[in-house]
Amino acid sequence: MNSKIIIFDTTLRDGEQALKSSLTVKQKLKIALSLENTGIDIIEVGFPISSPGDFKSVQEISKIIKNIKICSLARCINKDIDTAAEAMSFSNLFRIHIFLATSKLHIKSKLNKNFNEIIDMAISSVKRALKYTDDVEFSCEDASRTDIDDLCKIVEKLIKSGVKTINIPDTVGYTVPNELSSIIKNLFERVPNIDQSIISVHCHNDLGMAVGNSISAIQAGARQIEGTINGIGERAGNTALEEVIMAIKVRKDILGVSTGIKHKEIYHTSKIISQICNVPISPNKAIVGSNAFSHSSGIHQDGILKNRKNYEIMKPSSIGSKEIKLNLTSRSGRAAVKYYMNKMGYQETDYDINELYLKFLKLADKKGQVFDYDLEALAFINTEKDETEYFSLSFFSVQSISNGLSTASVKLLCGDTTFIESATTRNGPVDAIYQALNRITHLPIILEKYKLIAKGKGKDALGQVNILVKYKKRKFHGIGLATDIIESSVQAMIHVLNTIWKVNQINEKLKNLKKI
């Protein structure tokens, strides 16, 4: 049996169905190009009959995507099939994907037909699709709840009619892995012409088993897996393709199969789809979540630093992600503190690790997460005596008018001196305040991330602003919390400014020590 697993991506069809608003043609093209660059074998680019917009997007994609196969969905209706073929007519390599329900529940309550009528509809539609392409896929909708005798019967007839790929969908995510595996095995044992077609599965995640079901199907003989990047899709979503792909790579010893995927493009493609679709990736999401390669426990951090294989089964670089992330929290040990100090260029002789670690634990209990620049301050500044912040906000005011201009005035105490500055910008009141602060401090700060989080509800709700800025090739975090989001934004930037000032003080102190 062929050991190559075909990866069929339906992010632009099933994935888009779950979005709050439709994607533009430009957005779909960007996703399609990213999927092509990742090495996806087949992209289901839409359901052309569903709307003029979907038809146009499929048509435009068919003009651009030339290195991999594209596919369009169609019901067992002549107009659907004709429209799908027309939409993809600019492509030299396309597939028509036809679907029809086969379970007794769907046939009776949804279609009001009998099983023989379903077979006739399916065969007739396949014959029509074959006029346009020799690559036809047929999905037996709700196959996992279809009587196995009926499923074997229709699959045999479909293959005989010329279908190259038979899809066995777990349409409502009802099946558990051993059930789906049993269905696939039955097909291989009971359908005499099964070797003339590729068996595919399309699993939904209603019970959280989409990936597990897909893997069990591979072990039973399926050679095409359908799903979406990040698992987006109807209801609880689809099989997360990146999880299946990396499971195949990491557990090749057991699965014995492979894909043609460019693994180092996975992380980049995942991020693009998340941003375009406006579907955030959960931090604990397997493979591409922000916590997938981060470690907080002191025991784990120590183990990772000694040998990454202790707590990582794959490298972040294998999917194109960044290196390991050791979170500095109260659960961290000395190993992580030493790691970050060394990363910043300090030798163990430059500081007292025991004293630093005790200070670190106190700060971590108070602050939650500690950053590398916090360690510098703890190691080289007497924080117990020096509690006063260098920058302190005295006053600010903001005015925004209908022409798009925002003006901000800021009064800032810098040490013992007070400065007042104003700035006007078309980028909103927060940017105006930040520009005014920059004029006072003269620090070459670049704002890289700005995130607003609502805390609570109603008039007493608080707005927490988290910012990430870049200053002289280093990154600094700032947090502000207030009922007014502009005030929160100011607090976050003042937080950053004070951190940068402390780091600059440390650098000056170290320079002086070297001179001595």
Domains in the chain with CATH codes: 6-277 (3.20.20.70), 294-380 (no CATH), 391-515 (3.30.160.270)
pLDDT of residue 516 exceeding 60, the answer is no
How far apart (Å, rounded) are the C-alpha atoms in residues 180 and 207?
Answer: 14
DSSP letter (8 states) at residue 111 = I
pLDDT-based confidence at 387, cuts 50/70/90?
Answer: low
Q: What mean pLDDT do residues 459-470 have? A: 79
How far apart (Å, rounded) are the C-alpha atoms in residues 242 and 488?
Answer: 37
pLDDT of residue 386 exceeding 70, the answer is no
How far apart (Å, rounded) are the C-alpha atoms in residues 102 and 92?
Answer: 31
Q: Lowest mean pLDDT: which of 4-13, 32-41, 491-500?
A: 491-500
Question: What SS3 class is residue 369?
Answer: coil
- How do residues 341-373 score in pLDDT, each as one tens digit? 888 777 888 788 988 889 888 888 877 888 877
Exposed, middle or buried: residue 192 (CB in 10 Å: 0-12, 13-18, 19+)? exposed
Q: HSE of 53 in the Cβ direction (CA atoms, 13 Å)?
A: 11
- The pLDDT > 90 percentage for the chain reads 62
Helix (H) or strand (E) holding 419: strand 417-425
Question: What SS3 class is residue 394?
Answer: strand
Q: What mean pLDDT do residues 247-270 have? A: 97
Q: 248 CB contacts (<8 Å, ≥6 apart)?
A: 5, 218, 255, 257, 258, 259
Length of the chain: 516
With tokens 């279609």, the residue in question is 111
CA torsion angle 48 50 51 53 (round to 10): -50
- How do residues 301-329 score in pLDDT, each as one tens digit? 888 788 888 888 899 899 999 766 788 88
Q: What mean pLDDT do residues 391-407 have? A: 87
pLDDT of residue 456 exceeding 70, the answer is no
- How is residue 72 written in tokens? 């369009």
Q: Which range scores top for mean pLDDT: 17-26, 95-104, 424-433, 464-473?
A: 95-104
Question: Taking a C-beta distance cutoff of 8 angstroms, is the pair 44, 16 a contact?
Answer: no
- How do residues 105-157 score in pLDDT, each as one tens digit? 999 999 999 999 999 999 999 999 999 999 999 999 999 999 999 999 999 99
- How is residue 454 written in tokens? 């609502």
- How do residues 61-112 score in pLDDT, each as one tens digit? 999 999 999 999 999 999 999 999 999 999 988 999 999 999 999 999 999 9
